[in-house]
Chains A and B, each alone.
Chain A
Amino acid sequence: MNSQKLHIGASLLAALPLASNSAAAAEPAQRAVQSTNYSLGLIASDSDTKDSTSNGTFGLGGSANMPIGNLFGASLAGSYSRTTARTSDVLFDVASQTSSRQTCRFNNADGSLSVFARKPTLGRISASYGKGNVKSDCGDESVFVSTGDDSMGIDYYKVGAEAYLWDFTFGAVHTSTEPEDGEKLESDIFSASWYPLDSLKVTLSGGDLYEQDTYGIEIEHQPEFMGNSLGVALGYSVIDRDQEIGTINFSVVFHFGTKVELKTRDRQYR
């Protein structure tokens, strides 16, 4: 894994000057965020853990992106989601008049602020701070290990970099997550996105999620017939471990005001 990270990092560094030279010659200077824009979306996912429970998540998220001068930008994002575990996978159903199978739910709310510097012809570097809270409702005695109760606050920090290379975007994000009263969790995710069409993006990602390998694929499309305002994404990711966790993600995002193609949006608006 580490050798692979180094390999990708070297690839990114090697590619940056090439992209810079070629793209800068072709396009005029642009701002980090062309104009303030907003988006609101629905997110849904379904995770299945081998030999354990599966669970579904449904939520709502929004973001606001704004320029700070020509080189910098900022992004505010927030989301709320609910995850419901399918306890029938592990608790056999018992016909009963006096009791029922207990359920398990998680409610999550979080918000984050990102600041970034971007040259739309080159790439982007960003730093983010986020704060969230996840609350569980799982039977009589279910607690977060770090807090000992049914709620856990989360602080996280991210630093990331993206390089725009023709129809490709290569990215790396390091996240440091600090659960309330818990040990810090570190993760590194690398991604490579390809725009076969300016309205279609295919992203492969892989990395180290809390010392567990993870990889995924996502396809995002922003159909022209929806006025370039609506984006849909479908993805699948895996956390590779003994009890492998496979997750299917689906999201629909509506972008207010800005009607630009997906590739442009990614590199100039968010």
Chain B
Amino acid sequence: MRLFLGEKVHYLPGARRVAGLLLFGSLAGCGGGGGGDDVAPVQISTNAITFSAAGPSAEVPAAQSFTATFGDDVVQLSVIHSGDAIASTTSVLNGRSAQITVVPAAPTAVGPGAFVGAVAVTGYTCADTTCSRMAAGSTATLPVSYQISPALLSVAPYVEVAGRSDTVVIRGQGLRAFNISGVRFGDTAATNVNVNTAGTELSATHPALAAGSYVIHLDSTNHTGEIPSNVALRVVDPVAFAATTLDHPSAATVVRSLSYDLERQALIVVSDAGGGSIAHYRYANGAWGAPTQVGSGFLDAALSADGTQLFAITPAHFWPIDAATLAVGTNIAAPSLATNSFLKNIVVGYDNRSLITTSLTTSGSTQGYIYDPPTGILGLNGTALNNATPTMSASGAGAILSQGDSTLTSDVPVYLYATAANALSASTVSLRQNAVPPAVNRSITRIVLNGTKVYDGNFALLGTLPDTTAGVVLKSDGSRAYAYDTAAGGILVYDVSVDRDEAAYTALGAVTPLAADPGPGLRMAITPDNGTLFVAGGTRIVVQPTPAL
């Protein structure tokens, strides 16, 4: 292969080479000028754009504009962007400048978080003499940041007793979108802060607080400014109820449920009085007022997680009822209700969703329901249980459901409802339920089934209570069981904090007699401060200060 002048060289090779190199050299010099020609680069009128939204449900922040100017060499102006922060960009050319508008993404579309993005404005120039190829000229890149604050939606329980430290669940959106470094109730810091994996729930322990309202604040290391919040924990002083009795508004034989409204200092009794009614006993100025009764055909009712409503059921319908006025709202029919079945019981978790069990007139399994307030949907929950009776923990985190009846030839599983997952799962314990509903303490560390068997939170049997127990409730910390014993004629107290290795518990102290016989078909309740027991039967409701044992 020839590398230099070869076979076609006939004359003056040296001179030709020199001439060629000289010409090449002069031509190479054409491009000189050192440092480049001065063309105007793309320039933008701002250094950064920042958007912020108060939460994922907030309005889309207003679009922001900037101006880009560019030189005469630019034939094409490219405006491109990246990142979740930006929904779109628009540009309006005006000579050698462009007004570029950046439209942020909708908070509902991207959710809470700190988002970044960029807008790049590039002026493209012709890269060859015929403009058949484009080459980028200068680029101006504009960083865009977008903060969508997490949302605090609710706290459960929404009302607590003054002077008691306890753990609450704060629900929200995007609780993992920022580094949550702390929680404050008003100005008081919480402890034991834990955020769930999904960033939808946060548990925190508040210290003992005085009565009042405490706005819940989240502290974050990477959120600019205060995280918006209008969720408040109410704290009320406990009431020392004196022993007394309350009469049903009309004749009753069975009490179907009994609950205490801490915010309103009211007792809510669902009984068969008047064909199924909800009676509301309010305590004010040191005395119980006359009951207010509502409805007909009600089978059960439970306070909503925010305390604004009573969620009640009749055999085939769900009913929202104003918790303060007892005004009945529009009902929702239970879809696909099995033949000969009816709604039986309702409990409400901290997420405000209701778990509704169903029953047949005869023994048999039927699906229950879940009611979701935000959507207003009452849907089947996919789990068939046999006349299940639920009891929700005071925290709203879970419920225990016993099922079956004495006519069954074998035991059936006790179920656990987990509010976080809105799911039912069978426990390791099986039985045939009797007339005593399950009892569970606030943090589900103690469970009493059929009024006689005491379990820990893992359903390990710890000990037993007498068969004569007609009703039982647990102290919120799970250390005591308060049982209404028909044989003893009053309240017996058991220390269920100890493991009796499945042996019988021995009552602490003497029986505490009730002011009157509550009658058959009873239910029990205990105030959140553990200071008062309510025993409601077909005959009357008995208010009894909790024995100090």
Contacts of A198 in B (CB 8 A): 8
Tell me whether A268 is interfacial, beta carbon within 8 Å. Answer: no
Segment 87-139 of B: residues with Cβ below 8 Å from A: 88-91, 93, 96, 100, 105, 109-110, 115-118, 120, 122, 124-139
Query: Which residues of B, 15-37, contact A by the 8 Å Cβ criterion?
Result: 16, 19-20, 23-24, 26-33, 36-37
Closest to B110 in A: A98
Against A, the Cβ 8 Å flags (1 = close, 0 = not) of B48-91 are 00000000000000000000000011111111111110101111
Q: What's the least CB distance linking A161 to chain B, in Å? A: 15
Given the complex, which residues of B lie within 8 Å of A212, measured CB to CB?
A: 37, 39, 73
A42-53 near B? 1/0 per residue, CB < 8 Å: 000101010111
Interface centre among A55, A152, A170 (most CB of B within 10 A): A55
Q: How far is the CA of A112 from the CA of B105 in the complex (A)?
A: 46
Contact check, B73 vs A210: say whether CB atoms are below 8 A apart.
yes
Q: What's the dominant secondary structure at chain A's contact region?
A: strand
- Is A34 engaged at the interface, CB distance under 8 Å to the other chain? no
Contact, CB under 8 Å: A5 / B30: yes
Complex formed: what's the CA distance from A167 to B115 in Å? Answer: 63
Query: Which residues of B have CB within 8 Å of A49?
Result: 135-139
Q: How large is the interface on A (under 10, 10 to 19, 20 to 34, 35 or more residues)?
A: 35 or more
Which residues on B sit within 8 Å (CB–CB) of A108? Answer: 132-134
- List of A residues within 8 angstroms of B76 by Cβ: 106, 136, 138, 142-145, 152
**Bitwise interface map of A from 94 to 124 toward B, beta carbon under 8 Å scored 1, else 0:** 1011111111101010101000000000000
Residues of A near B84 (CB, < 8 A) are: 94, 96-99
Once the chains bind, are A142 and B79 in contact (CB under 8 Å)? yes
Query: Is there an interface contact between B131 and A213, defined as CB atoms closer than 8 Å?
Result: no
Assess the A167–B5 pair: CB atoms within 8 A: yes
Among the interface residues A45, A143, A179, A191, which one has the most CB atoms of the partner chain B within 10 A? Answer: A143
Whether A206 pairs with B41 at a CB distance below 8 angstroms is no
> In the bound complex, how far is the Cα of B19 from the Cα of A141, in angstroms?
53
CA distance A89 to B134 in the complex (A): 16
Contact status B27-A210, CB under 8 Å: no
B187 within 8 A of A: no
Q: For window 5-61 of chain A, which residues contact chain B by CB distance below 8 Å? A: 5, 7-8, 11, 26, 45, 47, 49, 51-55, 57
Do A179 and B37 touch across chains, with their CB atoms under 8 A apart?
Answer: no
Is B376 an interface residue, CB under 8 A from the partner? no
A213-B31, A240-B31 given as contacts; is B89 within 8 A of A189 (CB)?
A: no
Does A47 lie within 8 Å of B2, measured CB to CB?
A: no
Task: Using CB atoms, name the residue of chain A closest to B86.
Answer: A99
User: Contacts A152-B75, A240-B37, A241-B39 given: A8-B130 contact, CB under 8 Å?
Assistant: no
A30 to chain B, nearest CB (A): 16
Q: Which of B74, B88, B120, B131 contacts A132 (CB 8 A)?
A: B131
Which residues from 72 to 96 on chain A have a C-beta closer than 8 Å to any C-beta of chain B? 79, 81, 83, 85, 87, 89-94, 96
Contact residues in A for B124 (Cβ distance below 8 Å): 85, 106, 136
- From B2, B27, B77, give the contact of A204 (CB < 8 A): B27
CB of B5 within 8 A of CB of A196, answer: yes
Q: Across the interface, do A98 and B109 meet the contact criterion of CB distance under 8 Å? A: yes
The residues of B that contact A85 with a CB separation of less than 8 Å are: 78, 122, 124, 136
The answer to whether A213 and B32 touch across the interface, beta carbons within 8 angstroms, is yes
Q: Within the complex, which residue of B3, B10, B74, B127 is in contact with A239, where a contact is CB–CB below 8 Å?
A: B127
**Contact present for A243 and B3 (CB under 8 Å):** no
| Residue A205 lies at the interface, judged by CB distance under 8 Å to chain B | yes
Contact B130 A243 (CB under 8 A): no
**Does B141 reach chain A (CB closer than 8 Å)?**
yes
Q: A214 within 8 Å of B by Cβ?
A: yes
Distance in angstroms between the alpha carbons of A103 and B93 in the assembled complex: 21
Within 8 A of B (CB), among A196-219: 196-198, 204-207, 209-215
B6 at the interface (CB under 8 A from A): yes
| Per-position 1/0 for A234-257, Cβ under 8 A of B | 000011111111010000000000
Complexed CA–CA distance, A85 and B135 (Å): 8
Bound complex: CA A264 to CA B82 (Å): 52
A214 to chain B, nearest CB (A): 6
Contact B80 A138, beta carbon cutoff 8 Å: yes
- Checking B10, B27, B81, B128 against A91 with a beta-carbon cut-off of 8 angstroms, the contacting residue is B81
Name the residue on A nearest B88 (C-beta). A140
Determine whether the beta carbon of B127 is less than 8 Å from that of A134. Answer: no
Which residues of the other chain, B, contact A260 by a CB distance below 8 angstroms?
A: none
Across-interface contacts of A179 in B (CB, < 8 A): 75, 131
Residue of B nearest to A88 (CB): B82
Q: Which of B32, B33, B77, B88 contacts A145 (CB 8 A)?
A: B77
Question: Which of A53, A173, A182 lies in contact with B139, CB distance below 8 A?
Answer: A53
Question: What distance in Å separates the Cβ of A20 from its nearest Cβ neighbour in chain B?
Answer: 16
Complex CA gap A51/B126 in Å reads 18
Quick one: closest B residue to A109, CB to CB? B132
Q: Is the CB of A213 within 8 A of B134?
A: no
Does A177 lie at the interface of the complex (its beta carbon under 8 Å from any beta carbon of B)? yes
Q: Is the CB of B31 within 8 A of A94?
A: no
Partner of B27, one of A90, A187, A192, A213: A192
Least CB separation from A238: chain B residue: B31
Q: Which residues of A contact B118 (CB under 8 A)?
A: 90-92, 94
CB < 8 Å neighbour of B136 from A1, A52, A194: A52
Shortest B437–chain A CB gap in Å is 46
CB atoms of A141 and B36 under 8 A apart: no
Q: Which residues of A contact B126 (CB under 8 A)?
A: 177, 185, 209-210
Q: Sorted from nearest, which 8 A-B pairs have the closest CB atoms?
A: A215-B31, A206-B30, A139-B80, A102-B80, A94-B83, A175-B129, A101-B82, A141-B91
Provide a sorted-by-A list of 28 A–B residue pairs whose CB atoms are within 8 angstroms.
A8-B30, A51-B139, A52-B122, A52-B137, A53-B139, A55-B134, A79-B132, A87-B80, A91-B81, A94-B84, A97-B84, A99-B84, A138-B78, A138-B79, A138-B80, A142-B91, A154-B130, A173-B129, A175-B130, A177-B131, A192-B27, A196-B2, A206-B28, A207-B31, A212-B39, A213-B30, A241-B38, A242-B41
Residues of B that sit less than 8 Å from A by CB? 1-6, 8, 10, 16, 19-20, 23-24, 26-33, 36-39, 41, 72-84, 86, 88-91, 93, 96, 100, 105, 109-110, 115-118, 120, 122, 124-139, 141
